[in-house]
Structure 1
Amino acid sequence: MSWTLAFLLAGQAAVPPVPATGPATAPQEAAPAGQDDQATTGRTGPAASNAGGDILVTARRRAESVQRVPIAMSVIGGTALAETGTYNVNRLTQLQPSLQFYSTNPRNSAANIRGLGAPFGLTNDGIEQGVGIYVDQIYYSRIASATFDFTDTERIEVLRGPQGTLYGKNTTAGAINVTTRKPSFTPEARVELTGGNLDFFQGKASVSGPLVEDKVAIRLSTSITTRRGTIRNVRQDEWQNSQDNQSLRAQIYWKASEALDWTLYGDYNRQDPNCCVQYYARVGATQRPLSRQYAALAAAQGYAVPSTDAFDRVTDVDTDLRAKQELGGLSLVGNLDLGGATLTSVSAWRFWHWNPSNDRDFIGLAVTPVSANPSQQSQASQEIRIASNGTRTLDYVAGAFYFYQTIDTQGLQVQGPAASRFLLNPGNPPFLANGCSTLTANACNPAVLNGLASRNTIGFKNTSAALFGKLTWHADERLSISPGLRLNYDKKEGSYVSLVTTGSGATLDCSAAAQAASGVARDRCGVLAPQSYRPDFDNWNLSGDLTVAYDVSDTVHYYATYARSYKSGGINLSGLPLDANNAPILATATVRPEKVNHFELGLKTQFADRRATVNLAAFWTEIEDYQTTVNNLQVNVLRGYLANAPKVRTRGFELDTAFRPTARLNIYGNAAYTDAKYVRFANAPCPPELSGGTALPVVNGQIVGTPAAAGTPGNSPPYCDISGQALPGVSKWAFSYGAEYNLPARIFGVDGQFYAGVDGSYRSRFSSNPSRSAYTDIDGYALTNFRLGYRREGAWNVFGWLRNAFDTDYYEVLATQSGSTGLIVGQPGDPRTYGLTLSKSF
């Protein structure tokens, strides 16, 4: 097929992705029609390949069978991604029981593996993620910059546990390694078109072929995703939580010689959805006076939400929503074959621009109608790595990595006319029915807080450098011993300046004298107070791991791993808690590094002529100085800052299975048991039912007085001991499972197959608050997806799909309204969706 013809035909139909196997750096040849590609047949865990087939991965920076890699990992191929509708990291969690992903908007997103990776709650730019996101070997420094749609993806590898001796950036919890399809010297084209309810449309297309025969090849890919929102805003008369994503990706491969090749990558992604709304889910009693809790506050102003059932999917928030982001970059990857080893250079520059608008009171009253932190990020990185091409006795990977990042943020928070009622003390009893005191109270005067605004200028510079390496000694044909080391240096510098102005535009003075002279100034400063500080952090650390692997046979493999790793310390860039004089408490400006001790045992096995794969991993991970989000007692000065919990622990086991009993039937099932908890955290933030009252004093480290009972107005403890409680965001049990059955058929003289498939997932109850609360626990839920279609392998595919088939109601996340009002807000998961996908390749 000519290049021109391939390009023209790309606009006519679509195909399931079927890339050829081989080293990740090599250009691909077009797969013959009907070829069942090894890298894409898998659903999750060990991919269900043809009998005798191997799944090739590059987790250890060389192409090798997934079953021989002594790492707990799962592989999902391009076909599985397309057929299960897994087009972003969020949807990946339905296939990966050990992976958790939470997002209230792209910036406030977190990816965790085995319950570890990033603090649960609003994002703080001053720390790093523990789960590394890599696309074509490039590290994405912020999870927000990895919320793109998967475009032209060959496979995704999810590695569990510390990986710092193999990767440029340290990854203490695991890594998500995305590999896109490479340019091909044989002209090819692929198109995938999907339509569904909620006005869903997704189009993906790619073309590839030679520019210079046997020397230069190019690949161009694009995708677009649009969908109407799932939440109806009755005040603004529009649908919210929509999707509107576009992406472009290009690759140019140059085979400079038999030993040297270069690949230039470029991508641009734009997202501009009407997103993201959280709204009324329930109300829980706090220790605030009853007249100052949500029900009484709303009633006093004659306000009622449009529905108290979140799954009616209606809201009335009064701020226009926006979650616009642009991200992209350029990278250059070169490989020089030295004979016994390959030298690799990975150079990259990336950007991320974020332009949001949020409603942070989550209701139709103007409490905090403006809350936005537009941000511009730029990163540059350079990695040099050498990896052996395979020897009889020794294999090795060694590298050096440099990373530099800047972030500039312009924060804005504005209080509205309802803020005084919700956030201020109403005075002394007796209270009137409307919650105001018989005495003059600023809480009953909207002008006190209306227009009060905090403008925050935030700067951040992050420098990281590392030397890393891993050696594998094949002591004999069955036993291998793999030690690894990493020397890491991190330096973070920040600047936080908050200027607060009143509704009249005057600069707010929060000095002790100004507050003593004016009760209005005192109340304003208790809500938004100016502050300025310049935190910095730098640290050297040495980490390492040791893996011992034993091959009982070609299909049975054991391994044991110990790792001692570090997650870099950080700085607080969301404001600091204030002392009695409204000065920032500088001792809280930095957070210490996490120190990780990790133990793991694994078994990887295949039997029944490799038609059955069963992999098992058991792990025990302890972290000292765990980085977590905490809150102070001020009602709205800041929503949270970072601190260190003395010790946490996660332990459990994972089971990945895949079966192919006949050529017509594939079955998989994966399970994860994760017991993650705070071992010691005695001075943690209290849950909402123990917050909002008069804070008891602390004298010589002891709380003086007796707190009121949970949910009862009165005195509140200044902190709580949550030792032994579960970590937020992680379910004790999680499963994914599915099957596909095909039936050969001949239609219009063309051989193909009908097929039917099902994919399901289950998560048990988990906490959605840093300190566990009965109000913010999310009940366990199960999701089931179906598909039915007809395909000709390697040529075309058409299938109908039904996702969340039983229309299960579930929350992705729950949170609390500022000020201990007791309002709990949520973000429901998607309802039932259905549609049709057509794909073709040629």
Structure 2
Amino acid sequence: MSITLALLAVAAQSVPATEQAPPTAPPQSAQTPDDQDEPGRLGPAQQSGGDVVVTARRRAETIQSVPIAMSVIGGTALADTGAYNVGRLTQLQPSLQFYSTNPRNSAANIRGLGAPFGLTNDGIEQGVGIYVDQVYYSRIASATFDFTDTDRIEILRGPQGTLYGKNTTAGAINITTRKPSFDPEARFELTGGNYDFLQAKGSVSGPLVGDVVAGRFSASFTTRRGTIWNTTQDQWQNSQDNLSLRGQLLFKPAPNLDITLYADYNRQAPTCCVQYYAGVAPTQRPANRQYAALAAAAGYAVPSTDAFDRVTDVDTPLRAKQKLGGASAVANWDIGPATLTSVTAWRFWNWDPSNDRDFIGLPITTVSANPSRQDQYSQEIRLGSNGRHAIDYTVGLFWFHQTIDTQGLQVQGPAASAWLLNPASAAAKDPATLDGLTARNTIGFTNTSAALFGKLTWHVSDRLQVSPGARLNYDRKEGSYVSVVTNGQGGTNLTSDQRGVLSPQRYAPKFDNWNLSGDITVAYQFSPDIHSYATYARSYKSGGINLSGLPLDANNDPILSTATVKPETVDHYEIGLKTQLLDRRATINLAGFWTEIHDYQATVNNYQLAVLRGYLANAGQVRTRGIELDSAFRPSAGLNLYVNAAYTDAKYIRFTNAPCPPELSGGSNSPPFCDISGQRLPGVSKWAFSYGAEYNWPVGEGQVYLGYDGSYRSDFSSNPSPSAYMDVAGYSLSNFRLGYRKGDRLNIFAWVRNAFDQDYYELLATQSGSTGLIVGQPGDPRTFGLTVSLGIH
């Protein structure tokens, strides 16, 4: 944090305290006098009647005047709707997709773009940037913490690389926590519900040294028993067990200087995460090598063929333990015409998993784990103009360094031979052929990135703005993948059958690249309440390296030409209209976008029988286009409504060497690749909506309220190559709450989520080896409970 501390020392001596001007930034939220509720209480759209101030462009502006498609969710809305982590934001923001089979294998996408659909590969970067108090979180896994003491969340759609330190080609999720206060305050929240759900949150803040130093400490604890019963292990699985601690110190040694020190620690130790039998689909393998015949030969049957019975028999202990945290310092020095900002950060992420990767109760793969240790360091320096001038600007320098050490382990069990090999062969009839076959994978990775970025805003007139931006970016990635495979006796002399299941590999990929990207936005204000904009952006998502093993040639040797992945080239077009009508009682924002990506980074198969992970390759071209609506209405003082919608048409324009869907895989005559040009991208629904209402009426000094939040997503493909058997059906969810609030001092409400107990899958996957088994991850059933929150001032 040397740069931040140097700023502090210089600034403290630069101007006498009596001559310094107060900071020019407005407060984080400003409202009209008759707007008593927090903006964004109901959902992502601005609540009608007030101005929500955001910092999306690294300066304080009202959301309606920012020429970016974005949504804001306030801290109160997060609590009211139960959106206490990134995954639950999807019920409030239709353009956001989040998929997770466990914290490490998580992906956040916006408009269908961000990360390849499938299991995580350490060697690439996410296209959706996660920022917490201006610090970039390099892995979506490290952002799966519970939101603690959150002030607001800004979701920005489309490329943002000319405003943010790390390049974000699909969008950004910008999380801001509550800052230390010089007025003593405390907040407490306690929630209990079915499935033994218990969540406690608390924060305290106040002055520590007069009006110079203030502190804030917050904590959150969440626990819930699982929703899936495991008959083999005699326990509930897919539980929650999370602890979050966060501390802040704010120093204001002079009116024109503030520096905030942050530290946080998060621990998650759930019994998680299980995917299990959802159905069977035919593949091209011989009938005696598909699931039905294999299960019959083994005398095996799953405990239920209805996934929504929520029962499984997977026989490997499940664990999704992670520890994550870090420290950062943010300094803001107002030097008059501009503010100099320094953001210095260190973060860590330790991952300790255990998975059942055959998804059933037979001992096929008895161990599947890739424990990882990650450290990241980053430094950002920004200079941003103060106030409004003919030309406003933000320019910055960014440096980032990341290291990852993964020690993977995969072990085959006594049922592996019969399940994975040709049943007619002698090797398949001998359990010892694969029993104890072990792969120990040592994976190292270093990632260094640096950038010079900036954006100007030229106020051509009081109504017309032209905002060009540019980014010069450098990325270097170096990795090492060593897989040592031993047989059941510990030897390295492997048979062809053994090498076909787990094959030793050793390679050391490297990648480095410079690129120059940019954007330009033209914004026009028709009236104080009607704003329009048009944007073109050319950006790049960094290339990468494959660190999950490479596909094999006919001799079972890795194909080294697949070790690196080229950068994505993004051309993005967008138009938008932001309006407030009827004396600001109605807010209606529209955005239309068209994005084309060349050399799209996609997940493809590696064809190994017992290895679930695929590798990365470049598809020729993809395109996503659509229309989005964010709207909020206040027809009366006691009634608030919101409707948000997204139509997203995301397709492969050209992908001629894609992996084939399961129904075309596994046979001796199956095509090695399929042309899926014109078919839809995985993981994104064509239609998505969120909608809700809250009605309140005065009772004494407070108000009683009734609220509803609903969401709908149409069907989506759950396989990188669209399959007739791998579509997740569309579904809708409904949440209700009834409570009493008294300002921000007391809020007590009963809630029910997924009120109609909708059965739905979060995703589907296939068992490796083309057996035809499809496994699923059901979403949460109906839950209900009671929340009490108190504010003390």
TMscore range, shorter length: over 0.9
Given that residues 30 and 52 in structure 2 are in contact (C-alpha distance below 8 angstroms), is that contact kept between their aligned partners in structure 1? no
Q: Aligned pair count?
A: 771
Q: 1:65: how far off?
A: 0.2
* Deviation readout 1:722-775 (Å, 9 max, x if unpaired): 0011000000000000000001012xxxx1111000000000000000001121
Given that residues 384 and 394 in structure 2 are in contact (C-alpha distance below 8 angstroms), is that contact kept between their aligned partners in structure 1? yes
Cα RMSD of the aligned pairs, angstroms, is 1.7
Given that residues 25 and 60 in structure 2 are in contact (C-alpha distance below 8 angstroms), is that contact kept between their aligned partners in structure 1? no
Which of 776, 787, 791 is matched with 1:837 structurally?
787
Q: Name the CA distance, whole Å, in 1 between partners of 2:59 and 2:30.
A: 22
Q: Are 1:765 and 2:715 counterparts?
A: yes
* Deviation readout 1:646-687 (Å, 9 max, x if unpaired): 100000000000001111000000000000000000110000
Q: Name the CA distance, whole Å, in 2 between partners of 1:81 and 1:47.
A: 14
- Percent identity, aligned pairs only, is 75
Where do residues 219-298 of structure 1 align in structure 2 (5 Å cutoff)? 219-298=216-295
Which letter does structure 2 place at the counterpart of 1:618? Answer: G
Q: Name the CA distance, whole Å, in 1 between partners of 2:665 and 2:192.
A: 47
Given that residues 529 and 637 in structure 1 are in contact (C-alpha distance below 8 angstroms), is that contact kept between their aligned partners in structure 2? no
Q: 1:580: how far off?
A: 1.9
Q: 1:420: how far off?
A: 1.0
Where do residues 228-377 of structure 1 align in structure 2 (5 Å cutoff)? 228-377=225-374
Corresponding residue number in structure 2 for 1:430:
none
Q: Name the CA distance, whole Å, in 2 between partners of 1:27 and 1:608.
A: 26
Q: Name the CA distance, whole Å, in 2 between partners of 1:778 and 1:561.
A: 33
* Deviation readout 1:471-515 (Å, 9 max, x if unpaired): 000000000000000000000000000000101111244xxxxxx
Q: 1:259: how far off?
A: 1.1
Q: Give the secondary structure class of the aligned counterpart of 1:580.
A: coil
Corresponding residue number in structure 1 for 2:488:
503
Given that residues 29 and 185 in structure 1 are in contact (C-alpha distance below 8 angstroms), is that contact kept between their aligned partners in structure 2? no
Which letter does structure 1 place at the counterpart of 2:505? Answer: Q
Q: Give the secondary structure class of the aligned counterpart of 2:125.
A: coil
* Deviation readout 1:543-587 (Å, 9 max, x if unpaired): 000000000000000100000000000000000111122221110
Which letter does structure 2 place at the counterpart of 1:723? Answer: S
Q: Give the secondary structure class of the aligned counterpart of 2:79.
A: helix
Corresponding residue number in structure 1 for 2:737:
787
Corresponding residue number in structure 1 for 2:125:
128
Which of 788, 797, 803 is matched with 2:753 structurally?
803
Q: Give the secondary structure class of the aligned counterpart of 2:617.
A: strand
Corresponding residue number in structure 2 for 1:108:
105
Q: Name the CA distance, whole Å, in 2 between partners of 1:693 and 1:660.
A: 60
CA spacing shift, 1:411–1:25, aligned 2, 3 Å: farther
Q: Name the CA distance, whole Å, in 2 between partners of 1:658 and 1:477.
A: 27
Given that residues 576 and 638 in structure 1 are in contact (C-alpha distance below 8 angstroms), is that contact kept between their aligned partners in structure 2? no
Q: Give the secondary structure class of the aligned counterpart of 1:93.
A: helix
Q: Name the CA distance, whole Å, in 2 between partners of 1:67 and 1:27.
A: 16
CA spacing shift, 1:330–1:262, aligned 2, 3 Å: same
Q: Are 1:592 and 2:566 counterparts?
A: yes
Q: Name the CA distance, whole Å, in 2 between partners of 1:349 and 1:465.
A: 16
Q: 1:194: how far off?
A: 0.2
Q: 1:42: how far off?
A: 3.8
Which of 623, 643, 649 is matched with 2:597 structurally?
623
Corresponding residue number in structure 1 for 2:687:
733
Q: Name the CA distance, whole Å, in 2 between partners of 1:730 and 1:638.
A: 22
* Deviation readout 1:259-281 (Å, 9 max, x if unpaired): 11100000000000000000000
Corresponding residue number in structure 2 for 1:710:
none
* Deviation readout 1:381-423 (Å, 9 max, x if unpaired): 0000011112231111000000000000000011111111121
Given that residues 35 and 793 in structure 1 are in contact (C-alpha distance below 8 angstroms), is that contact kept between their aligned partners in structure 2? no
Given that residues 30 and 51 in structure 2 are in contact (C-alpha distance below 8 angstroms), is that contact kept between their aligned partners in structure 1? no
Where do residues 314-463 of structure 1 align in structure 2 (5 Å cutoff)? 314-426=311-423, 437=424, 440-463=425-448
Which of 53, 60, 75 is matched with 2:72 structurally?
75
* Deviation readout 1:685-739 (Å, 9 max, x if unpaired): 0000000111xxxxxxxxxxxxxxxxxxxx2111100001100000000000000
Q: Give the secondary structure class of the aligned counterpart of 2:300.
A: coil
Q: 1:27: how far off?
A: 9.3
Q: 1:213: how far off?
A: 1.2
Given that residues 591 and 644 in structure 1 are in contact (C-alpha distance below 8 angstroms), is that contact kept between their aligned partners in structure 2? yes
Given that residues 35 and 794 in structure 1 are in contact (C-alpha distance below 8 angstroms), is that contact kept between their aligned partners in structure 2? no
Corresponding residue number in structure 2 for 1:826:
776
Q: Which runs of 4 or more aligned residues in structure 1 lie more than 4 Å from their structure 2 counterparts after TM superposition?
A: 22-31
Q: Name the CA distance, whole Å, in 1 between partners of 2:556 and 2:232.
A: 38
Q: 1:424: how far off?
A: 1.1
Which letter does structure 2 place at the counterpart of 1:88? Answer: N
Given that residues 24 and 387 in structure 2 are in contact (C-alpha distance below 8 angstroms), is that contact kept between their aligned partners in structure 1? no
Corresponding residue number in structure 2 for 1:814:
764
Corresponding residue number in structure 2 for 1:11:
none
Q: 1:44: how far off?
A: 2.9
Given that residues 372 and 413 in structure 1 are in contact (C-alpha distance below 8 angstroms), is that contact kept between their aligned partners in structure 2? yes
CA spacing shift, 1:72–1:771, aligned 2, 3 Å: same
Q: Give the secondary structure class of the aligned counterpart of 1:552.
A: strand
Corresponding residue number in structure 2 for 1:185:
182
Which letter does structure 2 place at the counterpart of 1:741? Answer: Y
Q: 1:43: how far off?
A: 2.8
Given that residues 34 and 793 in structure 1 are in contact (C-alpha distance below 8 angstroms), is that contact kept between their aligned partners in structure 2? no
Given that residues 45 and 644 in structure 2 are in contact (C-alpha distance below 8 angstroms), is that contact kept between their aligned partners in structure 1? no
Q: Name the CA distance, whole Å, in 2 between partners of 1:442 and 1:507.
A: 18
Gaps of 5+ in 2: 1-21
Corresponding residue number in structure 2 for 1:524:
498
Which letter does structure 1 place at the counterpart of 2:517? Answer: S
* Deviation readout 1:266-297 (Å, 9 max, x if unpaired): 00000000000000000000011111100110
Given that residues 30 and 188 in structure 1 are in contact (C-alpha distance below 8 angstroms), is that contact kept between their aligned partners in structure 2? no
Q: Give the secondary structure class of the aligned counterpart of 1:166.
A: coil
Q: Give the secondary structure class of the aligned counterpart of 1:124.
A: coil
Which letter does structure 2 place at the counterpart of 1:689? Answer: E
CA spacing shift, 1:573–1:48, aligned 2, 3 Å: same
Which letter does structure 2 place at the counterpart of 1:811? Answer: Y
Which letter does structure 2 place at the counterpart of 1:43? Answer: L
Corresponding residue number in structure 2 for 1:36:
36
Q: Give the secondary structure class of the aligned counterpart of 2:163.
A: coil
Corresponding residue number in structure 2 for 1:613:
587
Where do residues 707-722 of structure 1 align in structure 2 (5 Å cutoff)? 715-722=669-676
* Deviation readout 1:774-827 (Å, 9 max, x if unpaired): 211000000000000011012101000000000000000100001000000000
Q: Name the CA distance, whole Å, in 2 between partners of 1:93 and 1:338.
A: 40
Q: Name the CA distance, whole Å, in 1 between partners of 2:329 and 2:623.
A: 39
Query: TM-score, structure 1 length as denominator?
Result: 0.90
Q: Name the CA distance, whole Å, in 2 between partners of 1:725 and 1:445.
A: 43
Q: 1:25: how far off?
A: 8.3
CA spacing shift, 1:742–1:545, aligned 2, 3 Å: same
Q: Name the CA distance, whole Å, in 1 between partners of 2:315 and 2:264.
A: 36
Given that residues 24 and 386 in structure 2 are in contact (C-alpha distance below 8 angstroms), is that contact kept between their aligned partners in structure 1? no
CA spacing shift, 1:837–1:717, aligned 2, 3 Å: same
Corresponding residue number in structure 2 for 1:744:
698
Q: Name the CA distance, whole Å, in 1 between partners of 2:226 and 2:737.
A: 23
Q: Name the CA distance, whole Å, in 2 between partners of 1:737 and 1:260.
A: 42
Q: 1:339: how far off?
A: 1.1
Given that residues 189 and 201 in structure 2 are in contact (C-alpha distance below 8 angstroms), is that contact kept between their aligned partners in structure 1? yes
Query: TM-score, structure 2 length as denominator?
Result: 0.96
Q: Give the secondary structure class of the aligned counterpart of 2:293.
A: helix
CA spacing shift, 1:344–1:26, aligned 2, 3 Å: farther
CA spacing shift, 1:114–1:100, aligned 2, 3 Å: same
Q: Give the secondary structure class of the aligned counterpart of 1:311.
A: helix
Which letter does structure 1 place at the counterpart of 2:575? Answer: L
CA spacing shift, 1:789–1:27, aligned 2, 3 Å: same
Q: Name the CA distance, whole Å, in 1 between partners of 2:705 and 2:611.
A: 57
